[in-house]
Chain A
Amino acid sequence: MPDNEPENVPDNENDKNDMNQAPQATTADHDANRAPNVTVAVTGTSPSGADLSGGAADAGSRPSGQALLAPAEMRAMRRAGNMMSLSDLLWIPQAGVIAWLVAALLSGADGEAGQSAANSLPVILAAAAVFLLLAFARLRLNLSAQTLALETGRGARTRLRRDLLAAFAAASPSAPLPGSGEMAAHMGEQVEAVGPYLSNFMPQKVRLSIVPLGILFATACVSWLAALILLVAGPLIPVFMALIGLRAKAASLGQQKELTRMSGMLMDRLRGLETLRLFGAVERTRDEIEEAGTRFRIGTMKVLRIAFLSSTVLELFSALGIAFMAVFVGFSLLGDVTTGTWGAPLSFGAGLFILLLAPDFFAPLRAYSAAYHERAAGLAALETLAELNERLASAQSCEAATASARADSAAASPIGGGPGDRALGGRNLSLPGAGVSLALEGVTLSLGGHRVLNDLSLRVNAGDHLLLSGPSGSGKTTLLDLLLGFHRPDRGRILVSGFDLESLDLDWWRDHVAWLGQAPVLFHGSLRANLRIADARAGDRDCLDALALAGCGELLARLPRGLDTPIGENGFGLSIGEQRRVALARAALRKDARLILADEPTAGLDRDTADAVIEGLMTLGRDRTLLIATHDEALLDRGLPVLEFGRLEASVPPVDDDTQGRDA
């Protein structure tokens, strides 16, 4: 949820790596977009031992979320990692050039040959040129790797969003889905979190599996003892880090909650600031926020003390590894150590060479560990997204079914003609002007394991008005949803002017229905744009007429920019009564409507507003078929036929409508 923006605890271990790890720095800006993924404790926390010993092999116990990544994306990331590794390995010849040059000078300084090869300026310059050329190649490789990684990361995020949207569009509108704020967090931050995981962590993983081995091999060619020093220092690191990381992880679990609570608290209190001020509670609340901040800091530092310890272990071993290497090389050259090589004693050039290589043996490990929190955030996000996809897939409804049916029949009988006479199966359907007749024949429907409608039969003549009444959860809304095609009956059928609803093109059918929901949603945008959702061709005149019919005259007069006034979250705040009226105006713009469905249109409204909404509905319902689900006594007293729900459906567990209602 966007409300719970946690701190991104900075990990300044990225900052101090050598330039080979540039990709890390360059992708660091991703953090900006990845707000709500808690990274507190994971900062600098170790990878688990199992992960490292697994090396680059990303098979094995792969979390379900990773299945969301396309094979091509994984391949591209491996390629980026390979390029980075190659760039790293080019340091071996570079170190070779330095070592050779210096060694040649040393033998020259020894004075035995007088003129060594390296003593002349051209040789030095040539060697420098080779060194620079190699440096250039390394940078070039790194640049390509980063570009590839970033582009693939971007493509993957777009693809994830597109898939999510497609799954969403295929789900029934009445399926229980996460709230809009949560979905926005999934679409935004969760998908973003996959970016750094793909474009930074994955290449680092590849790099970790290649570069240390390459350096080890080059070192071993010179001296087995030196290689042994690296071999001992290297693998020990993950073991210690895993131990410390486990502790940090345990400590961080509690801390994550604290973090969410704290940032949520600031937002929550800011939102209600006016109330706090009116009750003189500002100072007190400020103290509360300060206290929460202190609590959070102490908790975070507790976690960081352990988390930093794991990177300290890494540093310690790499520093000691390098120090031992230097000491070993030094004593070998002095002649105090005579073992460790493949026969001939260690030469100065060879010693300098392996000393120069040593830091790069540890560098990928450090980069990997610094990028590790991206793995945690990325995998968590992928898992969440996979779960959401599953949920969406299980909520697939008649939408998808009819979509495919439509595609089939469209191929079978291409239909021309205007929107008025489009139909399926070759039959031409034109609706009578005065509304449609409805017939339900033995309709049975279960939702979530509960039978909501049981063998319901019903006839409504064209142009009739009918009220649906009964306790909450008795199936009133479900009946309206059935008529809108949001559900398909398990048994029985629904006839619209004699045609089975299932045989109709749902989009076409809905074009002829006007619907007024219980908690009407107004979209971000101008009032005009909100109205024209119902009819894109509506002009200002139509909009104003519709608003007048819905009793919005007073509201319109108050809006600073008339029809152009932005409404919705960031715009002009409307009361719930005003929202209903605007929604009614929207419904009124649907002039082609033959059927009007209204779900609790007066719930939570004061009498005057409720009466205005009812009058508007009645005007709208003239010559049209009208169904209203309602509890409203005043409406029920109007003498319209009432269908009483609930008596036949005693087994249905009641749902507390009260808590589901949205308050403006």
Chain B
Amino acid sequence: MTARSTRSRHADGLRRILSWQWRFHPLAFAAGLAMSFVPAIAGITLLGLSGWFITAAALAGLTGVFLNVMIPSALIRGLALARTFGRYGERLVTHDATFRFLADLRCRIFSGQAREAGSGRVWRSAGLLGRLTADVAALDGVYLRLAVPTVVAAGVGAVVILACALLSPSLALGPLFALVATATVASGLVRHRKSADGRRLEAAQEALRVRTVDLVAGRRELAVYGGLDARRAAILAADARMGDAEAALQARIVRANVWAGFAAQAAVTLTLALALWLVASGDLDLPRAVAAVLLVLGLPEVLAGLIAGYSRIGLMARAADRATARAGSVETAPQEPFTLKAVMSASGEPAGGHDVLTLDGVTFAWPRAARPVLENASLQISAGEWVCIVGPSGSGKSTLASLASGLLGPLSGAVRLGGTDLAALGEAELRRRITVIGQRPALFNDTISANLRIADQTASDDRLWQALEAAALKDRIARQPEGLETVLGEGGLGLSGGEQRRLGLARAYLTTPDLFILDEMTEGLDAPTAALVLDRFTAFRGKAAVLMIAHKREEMARADRVVSVGALQGRV
């Protein structure tokens, strides 16, 4: 019972991908399937017709009976052309449909992940990210290698069975046997798609990657502290596990091919024997018998496509499960509230006068955590006020910042911005009014100007330079030959750690929020840079209120008010 329910849950990924692709563009989906029949049918008919033609010709040559040769020979050439160009058209149609769908799927996954951003499930792991993009790429096969070959094999198989049955009912036995046997082999592959070997292979691949990264990045440590040989052995162990898992997977595939191949050959033999016996007993004329044999002879080609596609079903099933799980939240996530209240409050309730930020009896706990991080915490920040939150590590300072910025929602209590609950504010409105400056600004593999314009798409170059100046980075960027159009590497490569932080600041300076949230803004900066950064920020913030998480004296000194996290919760 458990096994069954597990299996049915596993099936979801592939089915969902198929149904998404169908719903994405039903016409393209169906057109691709329809197109793929043309070359398959043409190819198999070409063989059958050729066999019939030469046998009939031989009989006519022997007996002198008139045979219309023009029609069959023209048909043969026509089928050859139909097969060739049909295949070309089919490929274009099916590939185009698939790429369209995958582009859409990427966007879905991105949106799905966007809903979870900041909720603690941040992806630091390059391995996971790499896996996801590889998964999406692997999903092209769901339609091209599973759906199309299945429909084609079933359709062509049915046509051949029908054609043989029309020639003589018992001749249907051969192709029927081939089809059933292939289906059995394919269903075996489907059943084993979730075998442990596939997961083991992926785990071993990841182990190989991680261990190599460790070996290379830590080679000085390993040389000094020892363990180089142990690391080498560990990498080779991962290689061995990879090889074992792959060999197990391949063995199943090879077996499937052998069985499918044998079934096809047996079907040919059966048809050959039956057809000849029918001729010998006078129930069938020879040209039709040869046609039947050649029709069945063409069947393995079609069925092999099916097995080839199903050989990769394990990979695709795992990819589909993961990708749909990532994108799934798109469908289930609640839409942004679009209430009259939200619209009203969005249309310019004055920020002044009120408290900018209010936390009212806020409690938050991580799922499955033993005790809440914050319990009944309350805080008011009035317009223009600079409040510093202090507390030991792990006391919930960063959680408080995440709650205040709306990345996390409170378990109970309310977080209000200018008197409106964050949940009732639209996401766009919320982001316009709050700017977060964190410890690690994400920089993208793009130009400096593009990295800055994330904060304000329409900012002019002049404004970008102003922001850079305010972040004490103008000279550094101006020295680059390409200036603002300098392309940063992945994760801001090309800038030092401190420079990356300051670029993050410059980005924040392009916004004009009601509230800045600073999370350990100067952590990891050396003292002179930290002082410079704080000076520039103080000058820049204007009338915006500030919620600062800090533990350094220099930072606390700037605040109007310093509160400990414990005090917020009524503790001392």
Contact = CB atoms under 8 A, between A and B. Distances in A.
Interface string A244-284: 00000000000000000001111111111111111111101
B490 A3 contact: yes
Contact of A25 (B239, B293, B307, B405): B307
Contacts of A102: 55, 276, 286, 289-290, 293
B442 A315 contact: no
Interface string B453-466: 01101000000000
B213 A28 contact: no
A661 B222 CA distance: 19
A25 B308 contact: yes
Nearest to B273: A128
Given A280-B431, A297-B99, A271 B315 contact: no
B177 interface: no
B80 A29 contact: no
A355 interface: yes
B224 A513 contact: yes
Contact of A131 (B219, B272, B303, B507): B272
B442 A297 contact: no
A289 interface: yes
Q: Taking chain A's interface residues, is the majority helix, strand, or loop, or is none over half, making it mixed?
A: helix
A304 B98 CA distance: 13
Contact of A118 (B91, B214, B280, B525): B280
A333 B552 contact: no
B253 interface: yes
Size bracket, chain B contacts: 35 or more
Contact of A161 (B125, B134, B235, B527): B235
Interface string B502-532: 0010010001000000000011111100100
B394 interface: yes
B81 interface: yes
Interface in A307-322: 308-309, 311-312, 315-316, 319-320, 322
Nearest to A632: B526
Contacts of A127: 272-273
Interface in B222-243: 222-229, 232, 235-236, 239-240, 242-243
Interface of B is mostly: helix
Nearest to B219: A173
A280 B428 CA distance: 6
Contacts, number: 534
Interface string B302-341: 1111111101100100000000000000000000000000
Nearest to A291: B103
A181 interface: yes
B140 interface: yes
Given A12-B148, A16-B304, A515-B220, A7 B524 contact: no
B156 to A, nearest CB: 11
Contacts of A555: 393
B57 interface: yes
B301 A18 contact: yes
Interface in B105-147: 106-107, 109-111, 113-114, 117-118, 122-130, 132-134, 136-138, 140-141, 144-145
Given A316-B84, A322-B80, A576 B261 contact: no
A301 B95 contact: yes
Contacts of B220: 173-174, 484, 486, 515, 517, 521
B213 A507 contact: no
B387 interface: no
A330 B73 contact: yes
B485 interface: no
A322 B50 contact: yes
A180 B140 contact: no
A286 interface: yes
Contact of B444 (A154, A269, A290): A269
B137 A15 contact: no
Interface string B52-82: 0111011111110001010011001101110
Nearest to A519: B217
A330 B54 contact: yes
A277 B114 contact: yes
A311 B84 CA distance: 9
Contacts of B494: 659
Contacts of A14: 305, 308
B51 A569 contact: no
Contacts of B134: 5, 35
A121 B277 contact: yes
A586 interface: yes
Contacts of A305: 92
A326 B54 contact: yes
Nearest to A597: B224
A294 interface: yes
Nearest to A590: B225
15 contacts: A16-B301, A27-B250, A102-B293, A105-B276, A128-B270, A132-B269, A174-B220, A177-B216, A188-B209, A277-B114, A293-B99, A331-B73, A568-B214, A604-B526, A663-B500
